[in-house]
Structure 1
Amino acid sequence: MWILAVVAFVVALAAASLAVVALRRQTAYRAPGTDALPEDVTGLRQEVAALRLEAGDALRHLAVVRYDAFGDMGGHLSWSLALLDDSGNGVVLTSIHGRSDARTYAKSISSWTCEQQLSPEEEEAVAHARP
């Protein structure tokens, strides 16, 4: 019985030795171009930072508010759309639909505010677009 235990111990010791040798060979081998990896990672990080900076100016915050501009009209055909960047700069577009015509307005937004008077629906669109 103890002979079986000794044989099992010798086999386990041999397997552990082979595993250590294989691990040493694997870490000793370096694929071509792996020395440049840190420079590549640094370059990628710089590129991601530049893209994030560029994306800050993109009109990526938007909200639409649909409503009835006139009491006798239904279907929420009028709307206000806020298109803003991360700093709150952009535009609010509004389309007022009546029975016989439709009018479209554009108002410039700077730092989440407008020099012109905003309608309640336009203010709501800007508020919903704000992160």
Structure 2
Amino acid sequence: MEIVALVVAVVALLVALVAVRRGARRPGDGLDAVPEDVHGLRQEVAALRREGSDALRHLAVVRYDAFGDMGGHLSWSVALLDDGGDGVVLTSIHGRSDARTYAKSISAWRCEQQLSPEELEAVDHARP
């Protein structure tokens, strides 16, 4: 009786191995599909990189005292730029009785308007 059970188990194991081997050989399954999957993933990664290049990913903040009699570094300039150096520099200058805010467009890491030393520092720190 035990021998019959052993023979049945061995036959079942052989049938299972044959089925696994046949299943792995079907086109579109198993190892044959891996190169297609990798190619598709590479295309998706490239598309995501293209989309991400326009994102404002490069950012730097410079805090400072705009006036000698003020403390606490309440004035600031922040550069928000994409991979090509396009974006904006925002500056807020805080005085005793008021605060002024400015925005300057940046294109290819340059600005048509004159940048303050703090704004230039923010752009330089944002550059990868």
Structure 1 length-normalised TM: 0.76
Partner of 2:126: 129
What is the alpha-carbon distance in structure 2 between the residues aligned to residue 119 and residue 55 of structure 1? 29
The one-character-per-residue Cα deviations of 1:4-39 (angstroms, maximum 9, x if unpaired) are xxxxxxxxxxxxxxxxxxxxx699462873233222
Q: 2:62 aligns with which of 54, 57, 65?
A: 65
Size of the alignment, in residue pairs?
108
What is the alpha-carbon distance in structure 2 between the residues aligned to residue 118 and residue 31 of structure 1? 65
Partner of 1:43: 40
**Residue correspondence of structure 1 range 109-120 to structure 2 within 5 A:** 109-120=106-117
Unaligned runs of at least 5 residues, structure 2 = 1-16
Aligned residues with identical type, % of pairs: 79
SS in 2 for 1:105: strand
The one-character-per-residue Cα deviations of 1:102-123 (angstroms, maximum 9, x if unpaired) are 1110000000000001000000
The one-character-per-residue Cα deviations of 1:85-115 (angstroms, maximum 9, x if unpaired) are 1110000000000111111100000000000
Q: Which runs of 4+ in 1 moved over 6 A?
A: none
Query: In structure 1, what residue type is equivalent to 2:88?
Result: V
Partner of 1:10: none
Unaligned runs of at least 5 residues, structure 1 = 1-24
What is the alpha-carbon distance in structure 2 between the residues aligned to residue 112 and residue 28 of structure 1? 59
Structure 2 length-normalised TM: 0.77
Corresponding position: 1:78 with 2:60: no
